[in-house]
A and B are shown apart, each in its own frame.
Chain A
Amino acid sequence: MRNRAIHIRLIHKWLGLLVGLQVLIWLGSGLYMVLLDINFIHGDSLVKNMQQTVAIPQNPATDMAGLRARYANATAIRLTAVMGKTFYTVTTPDERVLIDTESGNVISPLDEKTASEIARFHFNGDAGVKKASLITSDPPMEIQTRQLPLWRIDFNDGYNTSFYVDPYTGTLVTRRFQYWRIFDFMWMLHIMDYQDRADAHNLLLKTAQASGLLFCISGLWLLFYSFSGRRRKEPDRP
């Protein structure tokens, strides 16, 4: 009878050729994602002033009633703080508007200077703004799901930090930097969706996983053969 270990070993060897590299990529990308703290990846260390409390305007230039009259189709009116000051954000089915509570003036869409100031206000560091650009279409992959337009404010900080500021609410929508982008790349490698980096149920992944599972089972099986009947080296006889 032929030794069964021969077959298992051959299966393990050829599956290793087939999916071994992907298993290594899973291990490597997994290790990166596990080692770096997810809050750091989210950029928590890049920002400050993120929990601004709202001061209720005592003598606003216009009140909620005035705004309801001005925007008859408003679905919501929100008081928020932007750079320490209180503003109204009015939402209607057609638009969003940012209004200064002191003057009653519409200040949206925010210009480049104001958007940069907001980004600086939230940036936890000394680096200056390198570049500001208004993204109105074809968003980069890192803000794929966000509502446009957005100001992208790039900082000169060595981590390629980008802050995304909403020109209609003045909020810092999200922030991205080198470690996030590497994480996102690792995630792509991990789920094998090289197009959108989002579909963790694709056929390629499932095929690789099933092959990887067989690869692993054959390896575990081989352990029985590799560890049984071990013997010490026989003594060298003259």
Chain B
Amino acid sequence: MPFIRKVHKWVGLLIGIQVFLWLLSGLMISLLDPAKVSGQYQARPAQANTQNLPSGSLLEPQELAQDQLADALSIELGMNRGKPVYRVRHSDDVILLDAIDGSAIVTSQMNAESLARQDYSGDGAIASVTRGMAPDMETRNHKGEYWRVNFSDHVNTSLYISAVDGRILERRNDFWRVRDFFWMLHIMDYAGRDNFNNALLIGIALIVIWLGLSGLIMLFSSFTRYDFYFLNVFQAAKQRTVTLIDPEDGSARELKIRRGANLFLALSEQGTDLPSICGGGGDCGKCRVKLESANLPEPNPTEQGLLPKALRKQGFRLACQHHVAENLRLHLPNKS
């Protein structure tokens, strides 16, 4: 058990702060409202694309510029902002071709602003528009060029709009930014905030699991059935008499202590605080008392580590390591 306790303490010391950050970030992520984080709370409901294709003359795929179609994964004739277009999807991008004249379609800044205004239902106005050529932290799940439309609301909403087909790529705001920061802390990917299979996280998780397992083992050893005595309200507690002997004048004082109670805690409850730094953890070895009893308990491994053999032989024990089983006499330490 001293070994298990040592593992628990040292892992706790080394990476307890990360466990704290995991719990804190997990809690923060749960507390943030998902509708706010996603920006849905100030987005107008999307209208299903139910516009029919026009019946007039349109280009066939064979009539489009074939180099644009090379290696396409799909080619779809559909409607985009009221116009028939071919949407050509490649493995890492999408291009739009006008189905009437075959020209490439892009989303201009003006288009982007009007699309952003259509989508946004908050009370801000467009404050600025910038163009992005490559994904940044807020658009990291997308490839291709985009417009970033910033609104002047109190959560600094930014709508990201594809510069190709005008899709709303992302709705970002300060709720999302806070959430993303905590997500970064949670998965320990400080650069990309995306990869939870990173080596740092794996390494720390493999160490911290020992904190949990050692804690679980200690949970079993630190509780006894007497800890649950309060649940048993009908049965009177059996009491034991502990006689405290004053080191100065040898006077004796009797205390009634519930059978099974931890000696160190029971004395503390009755106003007799033994010297201690760790508070009953079996770490500091300061709560040593000399016991006299018909059945003197054997010193456990913790005491073997903290008490010299000579003292153990004289009957010295650590109060925090023993439960009150029998009546016993106990020599208090000198005050000095």
**Which residues of A approach B to under 8 Å, CB–CB?**
1-10, 13, 16-17, 20-21, 23-24, 26-28, 30-31, 33-38, 51-54, 56-58, 63-65, 68-69, 72-81, 93, 200-202, 205-206, 209-210, 212-213, 216-217, 219-220, 222-223, 225-231, 233-238
Residues on the B chain within 8 Å of A17, using CB: 219, 223
CB pair A212 B23 closer than 8 Å: yes
Residues on the B chain within 8 Å of A9, using CB: 278-281
CA of A8 to CA of B281, assembled, Å:
11
Q: What are 19 sample pairs from A and B whose C-beta atoms fall under 8 A apart?
A: A3-B273, A3-B276, A4-B279, A13-B223, A16-B222, A17-B219, A33-B196, A38-B196, A54-B75, A57-B61, A64-B58, A74-B53, A76-B79, A78-B78, A201-B30, A216-B16, A216-B23, A220-B12, A231-B285
Residue of B nearest to A35 (CB): B202
- Shortest distance in angstroms between B14's beta carbon and chain A's nearest beta carbon? 10
CA of A78 to CA of B20, assembled, Å:
51
Of the listed stretches B122-130, B140-148, B209-217, B326-334, name the one at the interface; the rest are far from the partner chain: B209-217
Please give 7 more A-B residue pairs, beta carbons under 8 A apart, in addition to A54-B73, A73-B52.
A5-B276, A6-B265, A34-B196, A80-B73, A223-B16, A227-B13, A235-B308
CB pair A64 B279 closer than 8 Å: no
Instruction: Choose one: A27, A93, A216, A234; the contact of B205 (CB below 8 Å).
Output: A27
B1-58, CB < 8 A from A: 9, 12-13, 16-17, 19-20, 22-24, 26-27, 29-31, 33-34, 49-53, 55, 57-58
CB pair B16 A5 closer than 8 Å: no
Q: Is B256 an interface residue (CB 8 A)?
A: no
CB pair A20 B216 closer than 8 Å: yes
CA of A223 to CA of B17, assembled, Å:
11
Instruction: Choose one: A5, A77, A217, A226; the contact of B53 (CB below 8 Å).
Output: A77
Known contacts A209-B23, A226-B9; is A13 also within 8 Å of B273 by CB?
no
Residues on the B chain within 8 Å of A209, using CB: 23, 26-27, 30
Instruction: Choose one: B13, B219, B283; the contact of A225 (CB below 8 Å).
Output: B283
B262-321, CB < 8 A from A: 265, 268, 273, 276-281, 283-286, 305-310
